[in-house]
Chain A
Amino acid sequence: MKFLGYKAVRLFILLVAVAAVSFLMIELSPIDPVKSYAAEMGASVQQMAALRSYWQVDVPTYQKLLDWLFDLLQLNLGVSLIYRIPVVNVILDKFTASAILMITSWAISGVFGFVLGIVAGAKEGSWIDKIIKGYCYLLQSSPAFWIGLIIMMIFSVYLRWFPTGLAVPVGTLASEVTFFDWLYRLILPAFTLSIVGIASIALYTRDRLVNILNSDYFLFARARGESHWSIIKRHGIRNVLLPAITLQFMSFSELFGGAVLVEQIFSYPGIGQATVAAGLRSDVPLLLAIVLISTVFVFVGNTIADVLYKYVDPRMRGEDDE
């Protein structure tokens, strides 16, 4: 418990630091929030001046920063300039969509990557190992957006199995979208993210297993008459699983990065698309909120990895808290 408390304190400090730094960076950037707000309305000079004083654009930077941090503590993140609704609602909406996409592909790539890694490692040097390895190297070195484009070309353009984008059918009210409509549009982006994610976990699992196959305890298990697959099952998986799961949790940051690109390609209305939109259209409140939520997301992933090691691995369990 002390460990988790310590982690919570660290998260808090991290968030304050990230909030302050990203705020200062925006402040130093050439974005003028009033202009970007009013640009679409064609406001007069007087109206602009009124807005400037209403938003306190001209108060000193430190004053703005303190106000921002103070609002943040009350979970008041302001109003999105694009969506014209409170940022918190935008984030909730977009992040849920993205989280489903990310968690689905995360789970799929974890399971398949692990299985492929075990098969390749157990059959080290065989043709099946070479195929899996080749496939992983190929994927590892191709950018996610490129894979996404290829998949879209094959399945949406040539085969016409899937729509080319958007989370729901065009012309349907959000309330009428069925679960299946939505699921149908989740498939391609999730598939893309999954096959990209498989490579690193499969290569890692394979490498760990090959190491174990060269270990003393593998040799001894063999000397005791256990068969190859029995050893893989009893000793191999046992020793690979925990580090592999840990790696998978640590990959939350890459997952987030991949999701931004893939959502953009498939026009999937998630946090990634919102990030790009917020950046391009100078929606400062939304952009800052996304920075914060992604910080929390990655931090949670890493913390889960830490906790798993601490409480699941018997070699770490007995040790004192940091």
Chain B
Amino acid sequence: MDDLLNVSNISISFTQYVQGLNQHVLKVISDLSLSVKEGEVVAILGSSGSGKSLLAHAILGILPENGNCEGDIVFKGEVLSQERKEQLRGKEICLIPQSVNFLDPLMKVGEQAIGDVPKEEREEAFKKQRDVFSKYGLSEEVDDLYPFELSGGMARKVLLSTALLSNPELVVADEPTPGLDSQSVKETIKDIKQMAQDGKGVLLITHEIDVALKTADRIAIFYSGYVIEINKTENFNDVNNLLHPYTKSLIEALPRNGFKLTEGVQPLDDVDGCPYFENCPIRDDFCKNNIPSLIEHDGVMIRCHKYNGEVE
């Protein structure tokens, strides 16, 4: 099956002015590659505030003006230009935002969900919106509520509905679960899986390991701006099937896996070598000055010099 979305070697950086006219380039995402197939959920798992959302913004072409994006984003075999992104967004590629703050506080949600449509199409648009809303169990009164009147669970359903109104092929869900009660999280996971079963590709951006494990088919681990490993979700059940030392320590740190904590933090500045060098238990001198590239092995991607093609 062909890839629905193929992101290859994306780097995103920001140009900032510090102390007058000194330009400073802040690199947020480095050399990121991943793919999403139809009917597949791919999760990007990384710590909060690490810039994962920017990947979503890059795919939709809504990076701020001082953001630079290098690399190719290929959707259905076509390299996306900014103009093409503007045509596709909201139609074939849709975003599920993280919170109710992404809705206009002064507009009723029904009105907001249909978006800006010409007068003669409004009736039809409202009908469709009603259908999608009722599919998610939102009653008719909800159409006339303002965002601040929605409960957390309702808001999440409204946000999911807005993405589905145009029947997109690719859904980018940017942290759809933070701050939700466990019941709502469960429902979100179910709804996202349902989208994939309906044939849509889903790119799930999250910092919650459990959500990624329960929802995704494949998980990309995001570390200090780099994707260091993309593995199948079932391999996360057994630490020995994981390839990168960081992924292993991440999974071992889960309470149910023994709560084994490792020292160290992610480097904030650009490093010359492997981003995990400082904390890596199996590093050697070569790792210090050479950035490993993301290589594929048997459908699994790994970024590590020490990986020799075998699972331990």
A residues with a Cβ closer than 8 A to B are 215-217, 219-227, 230, 234-235, 238-239, 242, 313-315
Q: Are B94 and A216 in contact (CB under 8 A)?
A: no
Q: Which of A223, A235, A314 contacts B89 (CB 8 A)?
A: A223
How long is the Cα–Cα vector from A293 to B191 in the complex, in angstroms? Answer: 63
A230 partner residues in chain B, CB cutoff 8 A: 116
From B38-46, B102-110, B202-210, B219-227, give the one contacting chain A.
B102-110
A242 partner residues in chain B, CB cutoff 8 A: 106
Does any Cβ of A come within 8 Å of B97's Cβ?
Answer: yes
**Given A219-B62, A314-B146: A226 and B107 within 8 A (CB)?**
no
Q: How far is the CB of B8 from chain A (nearest CB, A)?
A: 22
Q: Which of B62, B89, B104 contacts A217 (CB 8 A)?
A: B104
How long is the Cα–Cα vector from A221 to B105 in the complex, in angstroms? Answer: 12
**Given A216-B97, A315-B148: A238 and B115 within 8 A (CB)?**
no
Interface residues on B, range: 20 to 34
B99 partner residues in chain A, CB cutoff 8 A: 216
In the A-B complex, list the 7 residue pairs whose CB atoms are closest, starting with the nearest: A225-B90, A220-B102, A224-B90, A223-B95, A230-B116, A216-B101, A216-B102
Residues B140-159 near A (CB distance < 8 A)? 146, 148
12 contacts between A and B (CB under 8 A): A217-B103, A219-B57, A219-B97, A220-B97, A220-B103, A221-B115, A223-B60, A224-B89, A224-B90, A227-B116, A235-B104, A238-B106
Known: A223-B57, A224-B90. 16 other contacts (CB 8 A): A216-B97, A216-B99, A217-B103, A220-B97, A220-B102, A220-B103, A223-B60, A223-B94, A223-B95, A224-B95, A224-B162, A225-B87, A227-B116, A230-B116, A238-B104, A239-B106
Q: Are B107 and A235 in contact (CB under 8 A)?
A: yes
Prevailing SS type, chain A contact patch? helix
B106 partner residues in chain A, CB cutoff 8 A: 238-239, 242, 313-315
Q: Are B115 and A224 in contact (CB under 8 A)?
A: yes
A223 to B, closest residue via Cβ: B95
Q: How far is the CB of A228 from chain B (nearest CB, A)?
A: 10
How long is the Cα–Cα vector from A315 to B108 in the complex, in angstroms? Answer: 12
How long is the Cα–Cα vector from A314 to B146 in the complex, in angstroms? Answer: 8
Q: How far is the CB of A139 from chain B (nearest CB, A)?
A: 30
How long is the Cα–Cα vector from A220 to B113 in the complex, in angstroms? Answer: 11
B86 partner residues in chain A, CB cutoff 8 A: 225
**Given A216-B97, A315-B146: A223 and B90 within 8 A (CB)?**
yes
B65 to A, closest residue via Cβ: A125
Does any Cβ of A come within 8 Å of B305's Cβ?
Answer: no
A235 partner residues in chain B, CB cutoff 8 A: 104, 107
Q: How far is the CB of A141 from chain B (nearest CB, A)?
A: 26
